[in-house]
A and B are shown apart, each in its own frame.
Chain A
Amino acid sequence: MALLQTVDLLKKFPIRPSGAMGRVWNSLRGMGGEERGEAVYLHAVDGVTFTIEAGESVGLVGESGCGKSTLARLIARLQDPTSGAIAFEGRNIGGIPASRFIQGEKRRKIQMVFQDPTESLNPGFTTFRAVADPLLRLGGMRSGPELRKRVEELCALVGLAPEFLTRYPHQLSGGQKARVGIARAIALEPSLLILDEPTSALDVSVQAVILHLLEDLKNRLGMSYLFVSHDLNVVRLLCQRVLVMYLGKIVEAGPTREILRHPRHPYTRALLSAIPAINTTERTERVRLTGEPMSPIDPSPHLCRFYSRCPQREERCRVEMPMLTPYPGGIEAACHFPSEKRENIGTQTTVS
């Protein structure tokens, strides 16, 4: 049984109300359709189905605005899906409202590390209080020597010296703040840890340390990771499997190695070829994307989401939405005209 499974997960945000309010809104904005007053929705996550096995690390990549953060928040149950199911340890948690989920017993099982360590820590909390907070709220612990021992243990686990316990976020460096964010997320020993761009605000030297720490913690505590990032080279280091998202849909999924070696979807190819490489042998022929991404507001259900920028679009892509189709190597890709060409990256040996 998979640790987490989502089925046809959908999240729409209303950007224009329906009914009388919608009519007023439309006339004010001069948007037309004053008579109809229909609601208009932004489709952030549109029919996403995937699984995470126990102890597995799954990467989620895509550009900003593709819905990867919304998907992470749906799974973390910080937001309610419009429809679809989220099965966690065999139980559907998708139907529990986020406001009630926070008190439930599954809350401690799914924890999240947020993107910007500076923005996501309470500036008025010392390190001790930030890490102790989840233990007090959800871990059933009381203030006392036992709590202190547990907090010190957690800080040692993420490599924070005891002297940092009394410090406030402004007295910590970026790397230290990232460690506090990780310590409080693993305090309750979750089985699924969602990491939303945990290293994108850090220097490479610090990023390397945090990546090593995450790998070490995974092995020691047996957690599963959902690693959200826009950097495929970082995802590659931690994740066995990767999901590529474009405008609310998963366009390609499969083992990281296979996808890097033989991407099928044109968007994945563009994404891979755009990564700047130090080593000239790792550079691939640039797939240039022209055009603008399509609007995520009430998109056509038949038009491929990548159509507006796709270098190999054809008539069929306009009338029939491509579905995820299995390919050799465990890859699934949603494209009518998948690439046959292999990439030479990921097969080279390092030159340093």
Chain B
Amino acid sequence: MESRNPLLAVDNLSLEFRTRTGVVKALENVSFEIEKGQTVGVVGESGSGKSVMSYAIMGISDPAARITSGRIVFGGISLFEKSGQELQEMRGREISMIFQSPRTALNPIRTIGSQLEDVIYRHSSFRGRQIRGRALDLLNQVHIPDPEKRYHAYPFELSGGMCQRVMIAIAISSNPWLLIADEPVTGLDVTTQAAIMDLIKDAARERNMGTILITHDLGLAAEYCDRIIVMHSGHVVEVADTEHLFMRPRHPYTAKLIGATPNASRDLAELSSIPGNLPDLRAELPACRYSERCEHLKEDCLEPPLPRLETEAGHLVACRYPL
């Protein structure tokens, strides 16, 4: 963490959506860093801002979104200073993304081969016959059986797991520095999940690629990530190395989240739930957005600023009274 040159640095990022019913403060002062070759997990309930944050990094936020403060620095250069053209060049070449439902992310009326070729044509110097060779090579790399035949298949002819493999092939085709995987295995079977995650991990290791794994499954994050970011309603509430986080969670929300995840030895009686819901992000919010659900609430928790304590080296927690 001491390195002065992280691959990606998100610094104090705030983002809001202007809607008819009010301004939704979707992200507030989000900061974290990713090193080269590191896999970072982003966990939290739905609505905590995980996807909004990754769209902001990709520069594909909704038109209603407005970044009100902060910067995103990728490879030493602020993304907000780049032109639309430059961002276009960067997306897919330096930062790639895998989406949640591979079947909807792929074009249903074109073969997977032609979709893969598009990306190779756009982002590499391969031309003519080479493109097809490269595409087949990539399909091989993601362990698609019989790539020559699958090359001409349409997405509906492939299983969900196979479609996700194609998405991975597309995402890694230009050997990006950073891969953002937004719930890449949600909705797939556990056996397929494991195979897909192994594939992402191997691809990242071979290329020394940084990976952001967005997931709501703590087990998955624990197994595949070096570092974990816990988000709650637009705040980063805790950042730590995976082992530290699970061995000693310091934020009450993280502890609750771990306690609510079924595992192989916990009984139903030991499975705790998190009281309350995510707050309405359009309303006036207290400094700590978890305060309404927190069992350890003290009076000064509601007053700004939201603290950001470093309890140990590299273990950050946004709580005045960490556990």
Do A and B pair up? The answer is: yes
A347 to B266, CA, bound (A): 10
Of A230, A276, A282, A347, chain B has the most CB atoms within 10 Å of the CB of A276
Q: Within 8 Å of chain B (Cβ to Cβ): is A157?
A: no
Q: How far does the Cβ of A257 sit from chain B's closest Cβ, in whole Å?
A: 11
Residues A205 and B270 in contact, CB atoms below 8 Å apart: no
Residues A237 and B262 in contact, CB atoms below 8 Å apart: yes
Q: Within 8 Å of chain B (Cβ to Cβ): is A277?
A: yes
Name the residue of chain B whose CB is nearest to the CB of A279. Answer: B263
Residues A231 and B273 in contact, CB atoms below 8 Å apart: no
Which of A38-46, A86-94, A286-294 touches B? Answer: A286-294
Residues A215 and B268 in contact, CB atoms below 8 Å apart: yes
Residues of B252-292 at the interface with A, using a CB-CB cut-off of 8 Å, are: 256-268, 270-274, 277
Q: Is the interface of A mostly helix, strand, loop or mixed?
A: loop
In the assembled complex, which residues on chain A have CB atoms less than 8 Å from the CB atom of B261? Answer: 204, 278
A211 to B272, CA, bound (A): 10
Residues B194 and A286 in contact, CB atoms below 8 Å apart: yes
Which of B51-59, B60-68, B166-174, B212-220 touches A? Answer: B212-220
Residues B262 and A236 in contact, CB atoms below 8 Å apart: yes
Residues of A314-352 at the interface with B, using a CB-CB cut-off of 8 Å, are: 345-350, 352
Residues B191 and A289 in contact, CB atoms below 8 Å apart: yes
Residues of A175-216 at the interface with B, using a CB-CB cut-off of 8 Å, are: 203-209, 211-212, 215
A284-307 contact mask (Cβ, 8 Å, vs B): 1 or 0: 001011011000000000000000
Q: Which of B189, B219, B259 contacts A230 (CB 8 A)?
A: B189
Q: Within 8 Å of chain A (Cβ to Cβ): is B223?
A: yes
Known contacts A276-B219, A286-B194; is-contact A208 B263 (Cβ 8 Å): no
Residues B216 and A277 in contact, CB atoms below 8 Å apart: no
Q: How far does the Cβ of A5 sit from chain B's closest Cβ, in whole Å?
A: 27
In the assembled complex, which residues on chain A have CB atoms less than 8 Å from the CB atom of B160? Answer: 64
A236 to B265, CA, bound (A): 9
Q: Within 8 Å of chain B (Cβ to Cβ): is A20?
A: no
A134-147 contact mask (Cβ, 8 Å, vs B): 1 or 0: 00000000000000
A267 to B284, CA, bound (A): 52
In the assembled complex, which residues on chain A have CB atoms less than 8 Å from the CB atom of B115? Answer: none
Q: State how many residues of chain B have any CB contact under 8 Å with chain A.
A: 41
Known contacts A64-B189, A203-B216, A292-B145; is-contact A278 B265 (Cβ 8 Å): no
Residues B265 and A271 in contact, CB atoms below 8 Å apart: no
Residues B45 and A205 in contact, CB atoms below 8 Å apart: yes
A64 to B191, CA, bound (A): 11
In the assembled complex, which residues on chain B have CB atoms less than 8 Å from the CB atom of A35? Answer: none
Q: Within 8 Å of chain B (Cβ to Cβ): is A54?
A: no
In the assembled complex, which residues on chain B have CB atoms less than 8 Å from the CB atom of A349? Answer: 265
A278 to B222, CA, bound (A): 5
Q: Within 8 Å of chain A (Cβ to Cβ): is B141?
A: no
A204 to B223, CA, bound (A): 17
A48 to B45, CA, bound (A): 38
A43 to B237, CA, bound (A): 49
Q: How far does the Cβ of B158 sit from chain A's closest Cβ, in whole Å?
A: 10
Known contacts A204-B261, A277-B222; is-contact A238 B268 (Cβ 8 Å): yes
Q: Within 8 Å of chain B (Cβ to Cβ): is A110?
A: no
Of B193, B197, B257, B260, chain A has the most CB atoms within 10 Å of the CB of B260
In the assembled complex, which residues on chain A have CB atoms less than 8 Å from the CB atom of B265? Answer: 279, 282, 345-350
Name the residue of chain B whose CB is nearest to the CB of A175. Answer: B277
Residues B193 and A208 in contact, CB atoms below 8 Å apart: no
Residues B260 and A207 in contact, CB atoms below 8 Å apart: yes
Residues of B167-214 at the interface with A, using a CB-CB cut-off of 8 Å, are: 189-195, 197-198
Q: Which of A173, A230, A234 contacts B262 (CB 8 A)?
A: A234
Q: How far does the Cβ of A233 sit from chain B's closest Cβ, in whole Å?
A: 4
In the assembled complex, which residues on chain B have CB atoms less than 8 Å from the CB atom of A279? Answer: 246, 263-265
The interface of chain B, by Cβ under 8 A from chain A, is 45-46, 145, 160, 189-195, 197-198, 216-220, 222-224, 246, 256-268, 270-274, 277
